Amino acid sequence: NISSLFHSGSRSSKTFKPKKNIPEGSHQYELLKHAEATLGSGNLRMAVMLPEGEDLNEWVAVNTVDFFNQINMLYGTITDFCTEESCPLMSAGPKYEYHWADGTNIKKPIKCSAPKYIDYLMTWVQDQLDDETLFPSKIGVPFPKNFMSVAKTILKRLFRVYAHIYHQHFDPVIQLQEEAHLNTSFKHFIFFVQEFNLIDRRELAPLQELIEKLTSKDR
């Protein structure tokens, strides 16, 4: 059962960054529970659809937080294999290399190792998620006008962590018997971004074949 996998915490005691909690009793918490229940049915296409009468921004927010937590945990299980030595560059196979810039602290993209890049990336995402003006957790506080573009940037960057894990660290994933867990998480992520058109096709190129394989069974 995928939700117990994600929430048991027994899979990896070593979480990469602190988990971002959605406050219990809040509407967003109800939405998260709804998402988990539909996921449990195993129909991912259904699970990503906007529930009737819900606000799209809020739905995207809740799922973005959930994907951050999932990727955080998945990457946390393989940090021993992703080192300055093994991954001096942040890459997704030989054709794709990522340089880090966040537009504020680091304006000009820098080349850095994968662990450093992922640390920058996850810290940056966490700062966005913790910003109440961007991701309001209180009921009735409106989302900012630029919310969708912020969410798209976050998801685009989170995708790169999946891409790096698949291309550079799939062997340890198999050794740790995390393969089904990684595939389900990634498939859920892809269905979600496809449903709301959140990541440009060009950005998905490093995992295009895998995406086709994972999604073709569920047309």
What CATH code is carried by the domain that includes residue 122?
Answer: 1.20.140.30
Q: How far is the C-alpha of 67 from the C-alpha of 32, rounded, in Å?
A: 11
Instruction: Specify if 55 maps to a domain.
Output: yes
Cα distance between residue 101 and residue 81, in whole Å: 24
* pLDDT of amino acid 29: 83
Give residue 197's pLDDT: 97
**Residue in the structure block whose two tokens are 């990684």:** 182
Task: Confirm whether 38 is domain-assigned.
Answer: yes
Is 16 a domain residue? no
pLDDT (0 to 100) of residue 14: 55
Q: For residue 191, what pLDDT is reported? A: 95
What are the helix (H) ranges across the chain? Answer: 2-8, 27-40, 44-48, 56-77, 114-129, 147-168, 170-175, 179-195, 201-204, 208-216
In a domain, 3, yes or no: no
Q: How far is CA 66 from CA 18, 71, 83, 87, 185, in A?
A: 13, 9, 26, 27, 10
Q: Which residues are annotated as a binding site for Zn(2+)?
A: 82, 87, 164, 169
Grouping H, G, I as helix, E, B as strand and the rest as coil, residue 123 is helix
Average pLDDT of adjacent 10-residue blocks, the chain of 219 residues: 39 63 83 79 85 94 95 94 96 95 89 96 95 88 95 97 96 92 94 96 96 78
User: Is 23 a member of any domain?
Assistant: no
Whether residue 24 is contained in a domain is answered as no
Please give the Cα distance from 129 to 20 (Å, whole number): 8
Annotated binding-site ranges:
82, 87, 164, 169
Q: Does residue 8 fall inside a structural domain? A: no
Domain of 156?
Answer: 33-216
pLDDT at 3: 40
Asked if residue 2 is part of any domain, the answer here is no
Our count of domains for the chain comes to 1
Measured CA to CA in angstroms, residue 24 lies from 66, 88, 91, 134 at distances of 14, 41, 37, 19
